[in-house]
């Protein structure tokens, strides 16, 4: 049973049903039914044309489900008129699905859930597991999302930036349960790059690949964090890095810079350095300047302060930090790091402890607590 094949066929099958006139929500249900049926039947009786098989079964399910409607007659006539399912152009339909699933009328969590289900072909149970919520909750989230977009016309181009934001949200969720959301986000973004020619789509794909390439080195077996400078670079995935660098370079050459390309450029500079000491921090600061210009995000300026601290020394980093609001997430952690590099270990220890209290996740809290403990232990000796 090839689950990857099933998932990759999902958006085009769904697109065909919608194009034939099925309501999005009903079509989506029918496609899910067909996928379940495929899992049951295919191992013993694999179809010659998997997509054609799915379209046929899904369309029948859709008709069954709507048979009681007043539109029954019309829909049955429609299926008689329909040519036998076969290869169909898929690219446009799939692209429209991306836009629909990331429609601005949806909340971020609904958009993410709908994208994973309709474009990604995941089951509600898999999505619920990945987000650690009950299956019933995720089911409701998906059906509400479907209702929200069911009146939206399917033929309008949407906002690429919204789609990219949704995909990046999926990527950043990491992984839990039996679905690796980072890998799923990369798969969907790859699919999107095949459907749409846009340098920011390429920028996001490159960014994901470059981050993903370092995943194995980022944590110890016990789950604790390994900072970038201490990572074992031989554990980075050089193939993914090479691919990511190539994609971001090609995107940058088109001279339509966006925030994902700029972030990918920074990630590429990190992965390019054979050792942490050889990192080109001066160029990284320049990219952060570009990013700040593009996004005006305080988080970017916080990251920039770290880069300035590496390029021009901790005092310069602290000066850049002084211009920022100290209530920013991770502000204390950055301040602690810069003070430590500046030799003020007592202040650094105090700030690490403060940062640990504000940490948004367990691994980060434990890491920062260890940093504070390390400096405090040194002070006692």
- Verify binding: residue 105, other proteins, rule CB under 8 A: no
Nearer to other proteins, 176 or 239 (CB): 176
Told to check if 161 binds other proteins by CB under 8 A, we report no
CB 370 → other proteins: shortest distance, Å? 14
Identify the bridge partners of residue 225 per DSSP, sorted by sequence position. 219
Interface with other proteins (CB under 8 A), residue total 40
Closest separation between CB of residue 108 and other proteins, Å? 6
Orientation angle between helical segments 314-322 and 298-312, nearest 10 degrees? 160
- What are the residues whose beta carbons fall under 8 Å from the beta carbon of 294, sequence distance 6 or more? 257, 258, 259, 262
Q: Is the dihedral of CA 285, 289, 295, 296 positive or negative?
A: positive
Q: Does 114 bind other proteins (CB under 8 A)?
A: no
Pick between residue 29 and residue 93 the one whose CB is nearest to other proteins: 29
Cα four-point dihedral sign 225, 231, 235, 240: positive
Please report how close the Cβ of residue 112 comes to other proteins at its closest, in angstroms: 7
Q: Is residue 12 a contact residue for other proteins (CB under 8 A)?
A: no
The first and second tokens of residue 347, run together, are: 């202040």
Q: At what angle do helices 331-341 and 298-312 cross, to 10 degrees?
A: 10
Site for other proteins in 330-369 (CB under 8 A): 359-365
Q: How far is the CB of 134 from other proteins (least distance, A)?
A: 7
Residue in 99, 131, 281, 288 binding other proteins, rule: CB under 8 A: 131
Distance of alpha carbon 351 from alpha carbon 345, whole angstroms: 10
Nearer Cβ to other proteins (21/174): 174
Residues between 239 and 298 with contacts to other proteins, criterion CB under 8 A: none
Q: How far is Cα 22 from Cα 356, in angstroms, rounded to an integer?
A: 52
Asked if 134 is part of the footprint of other proteins (rule: CB under 8 A), the reply reads yes
Bridge-partner residues for 219, per DSSP? 225
Q: How far apart are the C-alpha atoms of 187 and 76, rounded to whole Å?
A: 36
Report in angstroms how near the CB of residue 77 gets to other proteins at its nearest: 36
Categorise residue 343: left if φ over 0, alpha if ψ from -120 to 50, beta otherwise. left
* Nearest to other proteins of 341, 365 (CB atom): 365
Binding site for other proteins (CB under 8 A): 107-110, 112-113, 131-134, 136-142, 144, 169, 171-174, 176, 182, 211-212, 215, 218-219, 225, 227-228, 359-365
């Amino acid at each position: 049973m090839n689950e990857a094949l099933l998932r990759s066929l999902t958006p085009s099958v769904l697109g065909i049903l919608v194009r034939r006139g099925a309501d999005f929500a009903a079509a989506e249900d029918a496609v899910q039914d067909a996928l379940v049926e495929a899992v049951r039947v295919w191992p013993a009786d694999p179809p010659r044309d998997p997509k054609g098989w799915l379209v046929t079964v899904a369309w029948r399910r859709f008709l069954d489900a709507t048979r009681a409607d007043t539109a029954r007659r019309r829909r049955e006539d429609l299926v008689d008129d329909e040519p036998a399912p076969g290869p169909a152009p898929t690219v446009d339909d799939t692209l429209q699905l991306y836009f629909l699933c990331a429609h601005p009328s949806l909340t971020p969590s609904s958009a993410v859930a709908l994208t994973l289900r309709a474009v990604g072909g995941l089951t509600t149970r898999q999505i619920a597991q990945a987000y650690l919520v009950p299956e019933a909750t995720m089911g409701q989230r998906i059906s509400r999302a479907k209702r929200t977009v069911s009146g939206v016309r399917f033929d309008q181009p949407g906002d690429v930036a919204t789609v990219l934001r949704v995909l990046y949200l999926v990527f950043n969720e990491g992984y839990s349960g039996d679905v690796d959301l980072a890998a799923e986000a990369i798969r969907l973004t790859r699919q999107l790059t095949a459907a749409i020619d846009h340098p920011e789509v390429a920028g996001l794909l490159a960014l994901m690949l470059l981050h993903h390439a370092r995943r194995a080195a980022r944590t110890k077996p016990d789950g604790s964090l390994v900072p970038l400078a201490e990572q074992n670079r031989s554990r980075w995935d050089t193939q993914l890095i090479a691919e990511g660098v190539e994609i971001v370079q090609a995107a940058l050459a088109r001279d339509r810079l966006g925030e994902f390309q700029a972030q990918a450029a920074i990630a590429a500079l990190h992965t390019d350095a054979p050792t942490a000491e050889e990192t080109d921090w001066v160029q990284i600061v320049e990219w952060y300047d570009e990013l700040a210009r593009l996004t005006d995000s305080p988080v970017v300026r916080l990251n920039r302060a770290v880069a300035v601290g590496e390029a021009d020394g901790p005092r310069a980093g602290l000066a850049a930090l002084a211009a920022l609001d100290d209530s920013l997430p991770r502000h204390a952690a950055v301040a602690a790091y810069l003070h430590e590099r500046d030799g003020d270990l007592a202040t650094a220890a105090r700030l690490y402890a403060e940062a640990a209290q504000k940490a948004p996740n367990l691994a980060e809290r434990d890491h920062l607590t260890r940093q504070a403990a390390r400096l405090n232990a040194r002070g006692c000796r």
